[in-house]
């Protein structure tokens, strides 16, 4: 039973779609249907989308790293998606604004919320002839995977390498060192998506199809170090 068939079987009035492969045929079938749909973090021309401000979030991270003196900045990013593309574009743009060289060997693809793979990519970066002084991760779970590998190698955070996560999950503030991260307003993201879906169901003719950007805030922990 496809997503659309299941939705009809359950008699759903509408659906919020989040944290899926948006290129999946079943998702596209749902998007192309007459069922009211709101997406989170992915834009379709004919659907309302609620997105975290990934462009500003990445700009804030790179700006902070620059302020601390980092120039050898690596970015382990997630697999291809609208979120990834926005973050990568913002990363390159901000690095360019600060006239910081982007070393292509520092840009590595991983997967979202995959600590094991992020750890492997971290090890690859640390084995470079000129390893980065700062590593950006696609999410906090991936950053934890990186932390584990760094500590296993007998290195210290942030003395030997600084790291930054993304999402601002609760455990990030309980780590040692406390993780610097960007906290996404997930409550607001979900709440607005739900309100927009209800409006789409109850007032389809007067509910505009729009993109809504939700601000994210950077949380400065102790996993970043100022360098000379």
Residue 197's domain spans which residues?
Answer: 43-228
Q: What is the mean pLDDT of residues 91-108?
A: 98
Average pLDDT, the chain: 96
Would you say residue 228 has pLDDT above 80?
no
In a domain? residue 31? no
Quote the pLDDT of residue 198.
Answer: 98
Quote the pLDDT of residue 144.
Answer: 97
pLDDT per residue as tens digits for the range 143-165 = 999 999 999 999 999 999 999 99
Residues in CB range of 219: below 8 A, 6 or more apart: 168, 172, 173, 180, 181, 182, 183
In a domain? residue 19? no
Confidence of residue 17 (pLDDT cuts 50, 70, 90): very high
Length of the chain in terms of residues written: 228
Q: In this structure, what CATH number is given to the domain that contains residue 107?
A: 3.40.50.2300
In a domain? residue 129? yes
Distance CA(83)–CA(136), nearest Å, equals 15
Dihedral in degrees, nearest 10, Cα atoms 203, 206, 210, 215: -70
The number of domains in the chain is: 1
In a domain? residue 115? yes
Q: Which residue has the tokens 């975290």?
A: 52
Confidence of residue 192 (pLDDT cuts 50, 70, 90): very high
Quickly count: other Cβ atoms within 10 Å of residue 10's Cβ. Answer: 8
In a domain? residue 52? yes
In a domain? residue 33? no
pTM passes above 0.95: no
pLDDT per residue as tens digits for the range 49-78 = 999 999 999 999 999 999 999 999 999 999
Confidence of residue 19 (pLDDT cuts 50, 70, 90): confident
In a domain? residue 147? yes
In a domain? residue 140? yes
């Amino acid at each position: 039973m496809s997503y659309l068939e299941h939705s009809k079987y359950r008699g759903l009035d509408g659906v919020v779609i989040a944290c899926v492969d948006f290129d999946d045929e079943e998702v596209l079938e749902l998007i192309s249907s007459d069922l009211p749909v709101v997406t989170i973090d992915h834009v379709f021309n004919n659907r309302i989308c609620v997105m975290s401000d990934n462009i500003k979030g990445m700009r804030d991270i790179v700006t902070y790293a620059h302020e601390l003196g980092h120039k050898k900045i690596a970015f382990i990013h997630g697999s291809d998606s609208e979120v990834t593309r926005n973050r990568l574009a913002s990363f390159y743009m901000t690095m360019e604004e600060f006239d910081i060289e982007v070393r292509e060997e520092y840009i590595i693809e991983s997967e979202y919320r995959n600590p094991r793979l992020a750890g492997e990519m971290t090890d690859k970066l640390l084995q470079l002839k000129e390893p980065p002084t700062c590593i950006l991760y696609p999410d906090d779970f991936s950053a934890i995977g990186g932390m584990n590998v760094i500590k296993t190698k007998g290195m210290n955070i942030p003395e030997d390498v600084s790291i930054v996560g993304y999402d601002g999950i609760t455990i990030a503030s309980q780590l040692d060192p406390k993780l610097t991260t960007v906290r996404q307003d997930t409550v607001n993201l979900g709440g607005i998506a739900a309100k927009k879906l209800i409006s789409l169901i109850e007032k389809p003719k007067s509910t505009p199809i729009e993109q809504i950007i939700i601000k994210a805030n950077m949380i400065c922990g102790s996993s970043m170090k100022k360098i000379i």
